[in-house]
Amino acid sequence: MKYVRYHYKTKVTFSNVIRSHFFLLRCTPQNYDFQQVISEKCSVYPQENLCIDNDSFGNIVHSGYIENLHDYFEFETFGEVKLSPSYAIKEELNRLFLYPSLYTCPDDNISGLLSAASLNESDSIDSKVIKLSNVLYGLLEYSSNATNTTTTASEALKLGKGVCQDFAHLMIALCHCAGIAARYVAGFMEGEGYTHAWVEYYATSCWKAVDPTHNCLIETGYVKLSHGRDFNDCSIERGVFSGIVNQTLEVQLTVEMNDCQ
């Protein structure tokens, strides 16, 4: 078992005051077969009452509305989680995750990578996923400034560069080409200053996980916040407001992870 303490904080500073600010946050973990939440708390500043609900994928969502003038928006979440030694989620397959989304739609360049993976019919799904991840890892270079939140899998492959979001989108697209159900996951991992993205794939009646950015199957050490078809379904923060401003973003994340009984 792994015992995890996390503290995640984001502050957006506006160049002028805004008002009528609607926001939605997906920044809180919940219980899964491999993940037990011991405690958690989410706070927003300027202080505001939060509504807690679940989105269409079952992710925990905090939402609210700030009417008064303000020149910053800050939220933080902290808590404790226990992780089992094996990352697996037993649930019935939602066939939605067999089909492409806006970010993961494959083109000829992506589907052409299947031949490089040398997949065999006799391969297990786990083996196929490892082969696909190996191909992807050899083609895409990690680069923090090459892409943005609107970059698609096809665009990232053409660039040959990207961040964890792009690795995840490309991995999902490759899985779909191979007939494997796959979905995007956002969350925390030890030693990262930002949130991380990885992929869950469906095998033998449960969801397992692969981290294409680090080219490895996931056993433990990852705290899941949300899942969906792609980044658009799992964004940590979304908001709309009245005002024309520039925004400055500050993010802090600490994840302490220790072995426990």
Check the CA dihedral 104-109-114-116 and report its sign. negative
**Mean pLDDT to the nearest integer, 74-83:** 96
Q: Specify the pLDDT at position 244.
A: 93
Give residue 48's pLDDT band: very low, low, confident or very high (50, 70, 90): confident
Q: Which pLDDT score, from 0 to 100, does residue 45 have? A: 94
Fold category of 89-234 in CATH:
C8orf32 fold (3.10.620)
For the chain, the average pLDDT equals 95
For 142, other C-beta atoms within 10 Å of its C-beta total: 14
pLDDT of residue 178: 96
pLDDT band at 156 (very low <50, low <70, confident <90, very high): very high
Mean pLDDT confidence for 92-113: 96
Q: Please state the φ and ψ torsions of residue 66, each to the nearest 5 degrees.
A: -115, 110
Q: For 86-100, write each residue's pLDDT tens digit.
A: 999 999 999 999 999
Return the pLDDT at 24: 96
| 176 confidence band (pLDDT: 50, 70, 90) | very high
* pLDDT per position as a tens digit, 192-203: 778 999 999 999
pLDDT value of residue 261: 64
Hey, where are the domains in the chain? 2-84+236-259, 89-234
The pLDDT value given to residue 190: 82
pTM (2 d.p.): 0.95
Is 2-84+236-259 CATH 3.30.1300.10?
no
